[in-house]
């Protein structure tokens, strides 16, 4: 593994506060609805997904997609690879698609198209992080934790070559 220096960008306390706020907002959005399915995008969303679902505090089914557009790089390849599909149908259900980061917008848009083809009642999106200056195509995200710059970040589910996902905060990576 390459040696890297990390600089905290978003603290654990900031993340937890924002996740609670998002949970309340999402709970309000889904108020009165049944058949809600939260779809996490593996592996990066796992920390945000778990904390967010606890903050929403509603009956929600859990599903996952496996996707990659990074490989071992710090930039999106531009090609989305589906590595794991949903185990159950989302037809006529209210889908909450949860991402760790929307960088190019390609993965989120790809998954919205894939899910849309399966005829859900609604698709709502949430991402911990959004890099508006990095978007390669227009991508609307309903619930965003934090907007950040173009720096490569790790922690709270985000990795570099498989490492740093377990950090409780988000940090920028400075390569040496």
Active site residues: 103
Length reported for the chain: 176
**Of 35, 76, 28, 82, nearest to 56 (Cα)?**
28
Distance CA 102, CA 127 (A): 7
Distance CA 170, CA 11 (A): 7
**Of 112, 146, 120, 114, nearest to 33 (Cα)?**
120
């Amino acid at each position: 593994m390459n040696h890297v220096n990390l600089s905290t960008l978003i603290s654990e306390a900031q993340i937890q506060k924002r996740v609670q706020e998002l949970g309340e907002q999402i709970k309000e959005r889904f108020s009165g609805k049944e058949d809600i399915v939260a779809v996490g995008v593996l592996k990066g969303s796992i920390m945000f997904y778990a904390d967010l679902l606890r903050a929403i505090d509603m009956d929600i089914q859990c599903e996952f997609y496996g996707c990659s557009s990074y490989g071992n790089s710090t930039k999106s390849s531009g090609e989305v690879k589906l590595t794991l599909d949903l185990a159950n149908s989302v037809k006529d259900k209210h889908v909450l698609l949860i991402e760790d980061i929307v960088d190019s917008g390609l993965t989120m848009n790809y998954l919205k198209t894939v899910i849309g083809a399966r005829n859900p009642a609604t698709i709502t999106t949430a991402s911990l992080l959004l890099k508006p200056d990095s978007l390669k195509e227009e991508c609307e995200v309903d619930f965003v934790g934090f907007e950040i710059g173009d720096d490569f970040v790790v922690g709270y589910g985000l990795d570099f070559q498989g490492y740093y996902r377990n950090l409780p905060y988000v940090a920028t990576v400075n390569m040496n």
